Structure 1
Amino acid sequence: MLLSWMMMKMMDPMADEAMAKTLTEDYPDNPFLMVTVAEKLSPRAIMEAAMRAEAGKELVRPLGSPVVLSPWDKILLNPKQLFQLPYPDYTQVATQTVIGPYAKRPLRLDIPIMITGMSYGGSLSLLMKTALAQGAAMAGTSTNTGESAVVKEERDAARYLVGQYHRGGQLSGREQLEQLDAIEIQLGQGAWGGAVDEPMPAEQIGRHLRKAWQLEAGQSHTVYARMPGKQTPQDYINMVNAMKEQYEVPVGVKIAGTDYIEYELAVIAQTQADYIVVDGSEGGTSASNPTLQDNVGLPTFHTLVRTVDWLEDNHLRDRFSVIAAGGLTTPGHFLKALALGADAVYIGTIALMAAMQAQVVKALPQTPPSQLALYSGRITDKLDVDKAARHLANFLNSCTVEMQLAAQAVGKQALKDLERTDLVTVERDLAEFAGIRYAASHRQVPGAATQPGKYYQPEELPLH
């Protein structure tokens, strides 16, 4: 009590002086000026300006952009209660999905939520990669190598492993590719603004990673803007088709969201690929700079809608599975992406947060939680892999049950049955763009030919 009283007595004059200065001084000498400057520039711009002024080189911002332009919260699922009845048992709502159904060995998952490509070395620590693989296996879904190689620890922990045949070349050759349950040809990434050079100096590459990447001592590594040796779109078409001839698992192509998405899809349509991953600008990463994250590319929502629409308009939707990626964080996001036409979704940053769960206290307040997960993190050895795996599995299971309940409300017996008629928005532009119901109009019930205000007879309604 005495110490508290003494502290208050000491702080009182300082607080009085600060308040008096704030309320009486003109702006040039008033501390409140920083509030108005922050409102004008944003706290983020001020902090990043200071970092640039200190470093004199490009910034590296982990976990992606704070700029979220996908309007997921302006779209709602549309429940049915009487004219159509809810599905009788939410626990029986089917959650399975199939990626590449026409491949010799399709990728069959228990849930449509997949762990996205986050590489060992270029992004995450080996312990975190192992935890993600183990947790995904517990939930019956896949994990992804990202821009790295297949390593024994991840392969052993994973039930289903998707591998990225990427622009750095570390995952290539029959020995590596035959270990995979799906091959993903990575041509771009949303958080990197598509495809740019991604250098990694030799001094940042540890012994275990150097062996996995088959690098000599002192050798640096670069993920290039294009596949080495590829000069034309036809080179890529030939590469995809050659991969399809050699391997029985699904082969897919990953591209970043862009307003040229239809042009990109027109090239992919000339291949024999089994699936397409579209990665919006809101996606996460470990090391791209703020300019690429915040200013380059197309949001996930717009990318997904235009991808599915183009495939349908060109009678190609059945040929390709579609995986949506980039900033998807909640069961609601996942459901809406499925209803818009995705067969599955990729998650990254939110999966890391779920895996770390209460273990973030090992980092806070001295360092941010990313130091527990990133390859370059200072306390990666403190991660409890089993706990992280269990928490990720719990997160995925929780999301799945909530998705089943929502599907029950809209009268669906499987998550794959969700469609755009199950969505509604109060935004006219969104309704017109995505082809979903507009709440501020008297839309007819699908399948019922009636006028507003008419009493419906049971035989007129699409009862189920």
Structure 2
Amino acid sequence: MLTFAIVSPFVALGLALLGILWFGRRLGRHVESSLGMKPKSTLWEMFFTMRTHGLADLLMTMQRAESGQPAEHPMGSKPAVDWLNAIGFDPATFVPKLRSQNAPVDLRVTLGAQRSRPLHLAMPILIAPMGYGIALSAETKVALAQAATLAGIAILSGEGPYLPEERAFSERWILQESRGGWAHQPAVRNLADMIELQWGQASEAGKGLTKDRADLPPRVIQAVHGEAVIEAAPYHSIEEWVDEVRRQRSDCPLGVKIPASQHLESDLALLCALDIDVITLDGAGAGSAGSPAVISDYFGISTALAAYRAHRWLMQAGFRDRVSLVVSGGVHGAVDAARLIALGADAVAVGSELLFAALHEQVAEHWPMTPPTQMAFARSKRNHAPSLDVGQASEHITHWLDATRAELATILRTQGLSSLTELRATCPLIARTPLAARVFSLPFDGDGPTPPLVAHKVGELVASYAQLNRILTTISEEWAYASRRSWP
């Protein structure tokens, strides 16, 4: 019996291996046979189909077929032209001189410097507006607020209703007044360190949205009186909205957020005429809890182009010293932030990356039954995801921000710079493609300077042609004069 007990596991293992071998050979013969068949008669059809129709397109097609509603996808989209990845950095060597890795670097930023209570940030990062209840849970908002305070930066409230816990944990709190109208109370405005009027965002443009009661937590249902409705056109004009806020709060910076568009310069002219302190441009690639794919994938201009064009216009129009420029949409970390600041931004807003950081070490416990980001979103009748551990989430967001601060400092030192002001003034960037070089007026890394010997020869040739041109001109003038003299 003992011998049988010892041998039987090996017999079972051997039989299992034989079964796997037999099944593998059968499967191999079937696959080999199917390769010779017409694709439309086998599963290989999907291989050819997905070469033409991407996986994202197929998934959205299934959404439309199932619901009859516009397809959505969360957390933003990839711009058709990724300009940021077409730009690199120019390292310092002797000219400019490389700085020590211990050299001090100034990452501080001030928004709305002309106001009596400007907003001071320890580094050029803002936590993007992600509204309570409309998108995020109260736990996620609190974790973000705690991390922002520890990092010395500000958090924006987002489109959702006022969350007292967020304000309580935020040392620097920006009230974003949405087009929904539920956070426009005078008492809430008095609590803000800065106010931003949301006229639209890249992932939704200015179309507005409606959130059903079943998608909202009880506190939000009570605050918005049922369904959450954000109008496509606000209840009053931007001029009236600005005047209303200014009458109550003239001490703190006032900003306006708009999606970046091809008529960007006209929008900037209108906002500067209203004496706006901070302009936020949301570029293509901005994330959202559930954006219509037809807008988030195909509307607006890239964040890099928005920063470059806005900075250039503000400089030319003479507003750059009194208007702070914030850009958002597809910012993944320190590298993107540094590139956008070099192109002209004062600060950048980060959203999706911070949610991923917040969920670190918490998703694995519930995946794959729970989509990763659902733990960050507000729980409702349709979202039963487990709640977020606030302390753990706050710690990981803070770590992400600390790493970003260190990476920004490293980028500046490696370029021989000591401040963000120098980064924007010198714009030490290199274009990776000829098109990016032309669009952003940057040197192309495939060209390089003209060798001195060649430059000297070209100069001599140009001088020779100039001398020949003078001789030919003199001959032509003398011939014309002689011809007139000989004319009867």
Q: Is the 8 A contact 2:149 2:172 kept in 1?
A: yes
Give, in whole Å, the separation in 1 of the partners of 2:377 and 2:171. 23
How far is the alpha carbon of 1:63 from its aligned partner? 0.9
Counterpart of 1:292, as a letter, is I
Secondary structure of the residue aligned to 1:18 is helix
Residue 158 of structure 2 is aligned to residue 146 of structure 1? yes
> Map of 1:221-232 to 2, 5 A cutoff?
221-228=228-235, 230=236
> Map of 1:180-329 to 2, 5 A cutoff?
180-192=192-204, 194-211=205-222, 213-215=223-225, 219-228=226-235, 230=236, 235-247=237-249, 248-329=251-332
Give, in whole Å, the separation in 1 of the partners of 2:331 and 2:230. 25
Q: Is the 8 A contact 1:112 1:344 kept in 2?
A: yes
Aligned sequence identity (%): 25
Greater Cα offset, 90-99 or 337-346: 90-99
Give, in whole Å, the separation in 1 of the partners of 2:111 and 2:449. 34
How far is the alpha carbon of 1:242 from its aligned partner? 3.7
Structure 1: state its 5+ residue gaps.
445-449, 455-464
Deviations 1:139-162 (A, max 9, x none): 111111110222111111222111
Equivalent residue, structure 2, for 1:462: none
Instruction: Give the 3 Å change call, closer, same or farther, for CA 285–291 of structure 1 in structure 2.
Output: same
Q: Is the 8 A contact 1:97 1:110 kept in 2?
A: yes
Q: Once superposed, what is the RMSD of the aligned Cα atoms?
A: 2.1
Equivalent residue, structure 2, for 1:65: 77
Q: Is the 8 A contact 1:134 1:158 kept in 2?
A: yes
Give, in whole Å, the separation in 1 of the partners of 2:243 and 2:14. 79
Instruction: Give the 3 Å change call, closer, same or farther, for CA 367–4 of structure 1 in structure 2.
Output: farther
How far is the alpha carbon of 1:206 from its aligned partner? 2.5
Give, in whole Å, the separation in 2 of the partners of 1:41 and 1:151. 43
Greater Cα offset, 323-332 or 432-441: 432-441
Q: Is the 8 A contact 2:123 2:152 kept in 1?
A: yes
Give, in whole Å, the separation in 2 of the partners of 1:406 and 1:4. 56
Deviations 1:185-228 (A, max 9, x none): 00010111x111201123333322234x252xxx2220011211
Q: Give the length in aligned residue pairs.
A: 439
Q: Is the 8 A contact 1:244 1:272 kept in 2?
A: no
Greater Cα offset, 8-17 or 422-431: 8-17
Give, in whole Å, the separation in 2 of the partners of 1:306 and 1:77. 20
Q: Is the 8 A contact 1:97 1:416 kept in 2?
A: no
Instruction: Give the 3 Å change call, closer, same or farther, for CA 451–418 of structure 1 in structure 2.
Output: farther
Deviations 1:94-125 (A, max 9, x none): 11111111111111011111110100111111
Secondary structure of the residue aligned to 1:92 is coil
Instruction: Give the 3 Å change call, closer, same or farther, for CA 220–403 of structure 1 in structure 2.
Output: same
With the length of structure 2 as denominator, give the TM-score of the two structures. 0.85
2:440 aligned to which of 406, 412, 434: 434
Counterpart of 2:233, as a letter, is R
Deviations 1:226-245 (A, max 9, x none): 211x2xxxx31242144234
Q: Is the 8 A contact 1:90 1:405 kept in 2?
A: no
Q: Is the 8 A contact 2:343 2:427 kept in 1?
A: no
Residue 376 of structure 2 is aligned to residue 373 of structure 1? yes
> Map of 1:77-116 to 2, 5 A cutoff?
77-90=89-102, 92-116=104-128
Greater Cα offset, 152-161 or 389-398: 152-161
Instruction: Give the 3 Å change call, closer, same or farther, for CA 204–415 of structure 1 in structure 2.
Output: same
Instruction: Give the 3 Å change call, closer, same or farther, for CA 60–451 of structure 1 in structure 2.
Output: same
2:427 aligned to which of 417, 421, 429: 421
2:343 aligned to which of 340, 349, 365: 340
Secondary structure of the residue aligned to 2:370 is coil
Secondary structure of the residue aligned to 2:110 is strand
How far is the alpha carbon of 1:84 from its aligned partner? 2.4
Q: Is the 8 A contact 2:198 2:256 kept in 1?
A: yes
Give, in whole Å, the separation in 1 of the partners of 2:23 and 2:124. 56
Give, in whole Å, the separation in 2 of the partners of 1:186 and 1:341. 22
Secondary structure of the residue aligned to 1:359 is coil
Deviations 1:403-461 (A, max 9, x none): 101100111111232035311113233223222223334459xxxxx99889xxxxxxx
Q: 4+ residue stretches of structure 1 with deviation over 6 A?
A: 450-454
Instruction: Give the 3 Å change call, closer, same or farther, for CA 197–9 of structure 1 in structure 2.
Output: same
Give, in whole Å, the separation in 1 of the partners of 2:14 and 2:163. 60
Structure 2: state its 5+ residue gaps.
1-12, 457-488
Deviations 1:361-407 (A, max 9, x none): 13312222021111247454431111111101100110110110110
Q: Is the 8 A contact 1:167 1:186 kept in 2?
A: yes
Give, in whole Å, the separation in 2 of the partners of 1:453 and 1:79. 25
With the length of structure 1 as denominator, give the TM-score of the two structures. 0.89
Structure 1 or 2, whichever has the larger Rg, is 2
Residue 186 of structure 2 is aligned to residue 174 of structure 1? yes
Instruction: Give the 3 Å change call, closer, same or farther, for CA 167–385 of structure 1 in structure 2.
Output: same
